[in-house]
Chain A
Amino acid sequence: MDQEISLNINQETTTTNNVTHQHSKRKLDRLLPWLIPVSLVILWQVAVSTKLIDSSFVPAPSAVIAQGVSLWQSGELQKNICISLFRASVGFVIGGGSGLVLGLVNGLSKTARATLDSTVQMLRNIPHLALIPVMILVLGIGESAKISLVAIGCLFPMYINTYHGITSVDHGLIEMGKSYGLSSWALLRKIILPSALPSILMGVRYALGVMWTTLIVAETVSADSGIGYMSTNAQQFMNMKTIFLCITIYALLGKLSDVIAKTFEQIYLDWRN
């Protein structure tokens, strides 16, 4: 009896240890991605504090944070973040949406593919940032030029990945669906789109990356608001704290995009795990 109790206690202890071990491992997995960024910030702070780096060129992270707080309190920071987010998201929806539709149409229809694909491929090879002078001349320096640039930037990654996803669907699955009497709509919804989804989501990820790069350039070249404008304006006054603040914000927004893309993948592609 005593032996049985001792055995049970031992088993319970092992189970508790396993649970604790798994819990700490999960915690570690969550913290691990932050290890390098946080270490770099600490190194940066130490290097500036010990005057290894000239703070007039590279301000300390604490000074950058203080600048951020000050700009937030004045309301300038949130205004510029909001306008940048607006341009990025509208451009992404228009460009990404068009790329998705074009990719679907060309992927599904041989006639559309024959008519449109070579033209799209030609346009795709033009660096979209080379269009900035044309955009400014045609659309001015207003919102439409910046949004259009972001849209053009997002269109091609979405197009390529959607098109590739649709044309790479396993023919055997389509044949199976047909032989089981699925209608064209059901084939699209239940077989073609889910099969192409990993590639489409890869397009979303690329497009989100291009979205920020394009916006930074567009706002730096021609804007009177937004994060890019804040950075260019600060450059004229040698305001390094604001410049570094803008760079940090871009990094954080980039990370946010990545989290959004990963969340989509976790939701829609959980069957792959």
Chain B
Amino acid sequence: MLKYLTVNNVSKVYQAKTALHDANLEVDRGSFVAIVGMSGSGKTTLLRMIAGLEQPTTGEIRQNDRQVTSINPQARCMFQDDRLLPWMTVSENLTFGAKDKEQRARAQRLLETMELMEFSNYYPTKLSGGQRQRVALARALMDNPELLLLDEPLGALDALTRLRMQDLILKITNEQKITTMLVTHDVSEAVRMANRIIVVKNSQILRQLDNPYQGVDNENGKLRRLELVDEVLDIIYHG
């Protein structure tokens, strides 16, 4: 069966430094994949290549059986720094200032979902870190993306806001059946959110693990997830 996204023998070399070596990956449509690893292991490089922000030195990335050769129009990124435009209001950030009625209506609906309606006319500088990331998430969802690429978007948030954002992302991606790839160095976040964990170490994909306990909220599910966190940490530290 044809996979939604495939990464075939992809390597990325910056000058003399190898950021990613011979990566192979297959992603099913609608799945939630987490890429974990230590800083500098190559996980962000992989995500950036899937987004089309960078091109592989060798190998190819295919989405819907079409090679990704430039900015990926079906993907939307959310970065660790929210990258909101400070001169635009919250709703303008979603539409990039477009006056189109339909777009503005969609922006309003998304702000409602994110519980940000009252901040619609605020400038981003007036918002908290969590609110800003919710705006960034709403912006990423504006064009109904098929693929959502999250590059440590919750890294700078406090623990409680982080949990709330995790729930919000899970709810939306499940409801809208968006294929999601999350880069994170927080293994427990990866295990809580994803149904597939990719472990990257020393510029290589080391292991790929299925997580059947994602979303299983009974005692057994929680226990199994904790065991999986230990297993992933063990792979990261000891290979």
CB A140 to nearest CB in B, in angstroms, measures: 46
Contact A176/B77 with A190-B85, A191-B85, A271-B125 known, Cβ cut-off 8 Å: yes
C-alpha gap A195/B88 in the complex (Å): 11
Give the size of the chain A interface in residues (CB under 8 angstroms): 19
Kindly count the residue-residue contacts between A and B in the assembled complex, taking CB atoms under 8 Å apart: 47
**Residues of A with C-beta under 8 A to B75:** 179
Interface positions, chain B 45-99, Cβ under 8 Å from A, are 51-53, 71-73, 75-77, 79, 81, 83, 85-88, 96-97
Contact A181 B83 (CB under 8 A): no
**Residues of B with C-beta under 8 A to A197:** 87
Contact A181 B53 (CB under 8 A): no
C-alpha gap A269/B86 in the complex (Å): 10
| Residue from B53, B86, B97 in contact with A178 in the complex, judged by beta carbons closer than 8 Å | B53
Contact A182/B96 with A173-B85, A194-B87 known, Cβ cut-off 8 Å: yes
Q: Within 8 Å of chain A (Cβ to Cβ): is B123?
A: yes
CB B183 to nearest CB in A, in angstroms, measures: 15
C-alpha gap A271/B85 in the complex (Å): 10
**Residues of A with C-beta under 8 A to B81:** 172
Contact A179 B77 (CB under 8 A): yes
Q: Within 8 Å of chain B (Cβ to Cβ): is A143?
A: no
CB A194 to nearest CB in B, in angstroms, measures: 5
Q: Within 8 Å of chain B (Cβ to Cβ): is A175?
A: yes
29 contacts across the A-B interface (CB closer than 8 A): A172-B79, A172-B81, A173-B83, A173-B85, A176-B79, A179-B51, A179-B52, A179-B53, A179-B71, A179-B72, A179-B75, A179-B77, A180-B76, A180-B96, A180-B139, A181-B71, A181-B73, A182-B96, A190-B85, A190-B88, A190-B96, A191-B85, A194-B85, A194-B87, A195-B87, A269-B87, A271-B88, A272-B86, A272-B125
Binding site for B on A (CB under 8 A): 172-173, 175-182, 186, 190-191, 194-195, 197, 269, 271-272
Binding site for A on B (CB under 8 A): 51-53, 71-73, 75-77, 79, 81, 83, 85-88, 96-97, 123, 125, 139, 143
